[in-house]
Amino acid sequence: MKGSQFERDICRKLSKWWTNGKREDVFWRTSSSGAMATIRKKSNKSTFGQYGDIQAVDPIGANLLKKLSIELKRGYSNNSFSDLLEKQKSIYWDFVKQAEKEANDSGKTFWWLIVKRDRKETMCIMLLSLARKLLMTDNKFRDSDIKFSIIRGLSPKQELYTLFAIKLDDLLSIINRQTFETFNNA
């Protein structure tokens, strides 16, 4: 139940952010948190808009998800994204691989992994290459005192990942809908 409420809360937050506080119904949970697309994929069938954990239920939200898949995780308080550095076997590596797989299965280039541990801030983890495209050229970000982490680690399969982690609220305070419209047209 905790995860379902978190997914609904994030969908409302993203909807309000996308519409400058005017609406909370632009994004919503995918069917069975993406399970519909996963099951259909096994039969070589595609399923529009059902990959990852969030879909645009209004066409005005399509630009956010044009190149981006979003995975949501809630709980897991005994684990932290710092496990990506400290442990070869970590549930966070499983989360990263799942986010990457959902993006690949849906034909998207990038992913966000949004995680919230109990009594902690909601964090957004993404590939550093995406963070650079969205944030690094923005003077607002360079001139801010927003804290972030860059994590470089080897997955259990010895794949090198360079990830960027930031509080979700900080990320949403820096980028906006126009950022994605520009990003998608580049």
pLDDT tens for each residue of 100-118: 999 998 899 999 999 999 9
pLDDT at 3 over 70: no
How many angstroms separate the CA atoms of 18 and 125, rounded? 19
How many angstroms separate the CA atoms of 138 and 46, rounded? 36
> What is the residue whose two structure tokens read 């995680």?
115
Q: Which residue type is seen at 15?
A: S
The closest alpha carbon to 86, from 149, 150, 154, belongs to 154
Specify whether the CB–CB gap between 163 and 131 falls below 8 A. Answer: no
Specify whether the CB–CB gap between 112 and 126 falls below 8 A. Answer: yes
Count of alpha carbons within 13 Å of 49, Cβ hemisphere only?
14
pTM, two decimal places: 0.86
The average pLDDT across 144-169 equals 87
Specify whether the CB–CB gap between 6 and 74 falls below 8 A. Answer: yes
Q: Which residue type is seen at 35?
A: A
pLDDT at 143 over 70: no
What integer pLDDT is reported at residue 139 of this predicted model?
63
pLDDT tens for each residue of 60-99: 999 999 999 999 999 988 888 888 888 878 899 999 999 9
pLDDT tens for each residue of 6-58: 999 999 999 999 999 999 999 999 965 444 444 434 455 455 444 689 999 99
What integer pLDDT is reported at residue 95 of this predicted model?
94
What integer pLDDT is reported at residue 142 of this predicted model?
66
Q: Residues for the chain: how many in total?
A: 186
Specify whether the CB–CB gap between 28 and 55 falls below 8 A. Answer: yes
The average pLDDT across 153-175 equals 90
